[in-house]
Amino acid sequence: MSAALIDADGRLVSEPSSPPAAVLLLAHGAGAPMDSPFMAVMAEGLAACGWRVVRFEFPYMAGRRQGGPRRAPDRMPKLEQAFCEQVQRESQRHAAGLPLFIGGKSMGGRVASLVADGLASALDLRGCLCLGYPFHPPGKPEALRTAHLQGLRTPTLILQGERDAFGRRGEVETYPLGERVALGWIPSGDHSFKPTRSSGLSEAEAWGMAVQAADAFLQRCLAP
């Protein structure tokens, strides 16, 4: 596997060393770009497992990269539209008939989960991967973002740090989630899966656990 390359659309593409089993399109979180350390480790780790991983940026983040002002994320309809455009671009130009997965970090995963069922009606979309789902804003557990997850038909894995301020394990396990939504836990992890020192895990080990869990989910979704 080589380092990620920038394609003609400005996206980062991590290719496996052998022909990929499927394509995973990943979006970043609200505050960090597609080449953040977390995104790089997830993408390169999954590429090493045999998946073609494509990272892209929402327009507001791409504008920052081009020297524009540091703006807040766009509203959800615009984010959803941008995600769907990236999916269409990937399926038309590069996927070459490969099965498709979508997902992202935090906000990016939330957007993916919101558009997944609509995309699955037209494309060979096999699943959705959420890396640190923002179940609610920190300190506002009453402001839940789970309504659509109750009826989600697309197989979805939410990987969550046990002490994530956007949804701790004790909270999340009480939420009514759909039967196609699975939860995976990173021991003592925060919103980016960083564990506490007392856990005995390093950040690299925690990230490695996340890659392994994501890989296992993708493989299950492709199984006959």
* Predicted pLDDT at 96: 61
Using CA of residue 188, residue 31, residue 125, residue 9, what is the dihedral sign? Answer: negative
Cα–Cα dist 118/172, whole Å: 25
CA dihedral 182, 193, 58, 70 (to 10 degrees): 150
Return the residue matching tokens 């960083």: 194
In angstroms, how far is CA 5 from the centroid of its own chain?
19
Q: Residue 106: name the closest of 181, 164, 174, 180 by CA.
A: 164
* Predicted pLDDT at 175: 97
CA dihedral 164, 57, 183, 49 (to 10 degrees): -120
Do 22 and 99 touch, CB atoms closer than 8 A?
yes
Phi-psi category of residue 39: left, alpha or beta, with phi > 0 → left and psi -120 to 50 → alpha: alpha
DSSP bridge pairs for 128 = 102, 156
User: How confident is the prediction along the chain (224 residues), in pLDDT tens digits per residue?
Assistant: 457 898 888 999 999 999 999 999 999 999 999 999 999 999 999 999 999 999 999 999 998 888 767 788 999 999 999 999 999 988 876 556 789 999 999 999 999 999 999 999 888 999 999 999 999 999 999 999 999 999 999 999 999 999 999 999 999 999 999 999 999 999 999 999 999 999 999 999 999 999 999 999 999 999 87
Do 24 and 56 touch, CB atoms closer than 8 A?
no
CATH number for the domain running over 5-222: 3.40.50.1820
Quick one: three-class SS letters along 108-121?
Answer: HHHHHHHHHHHHHC
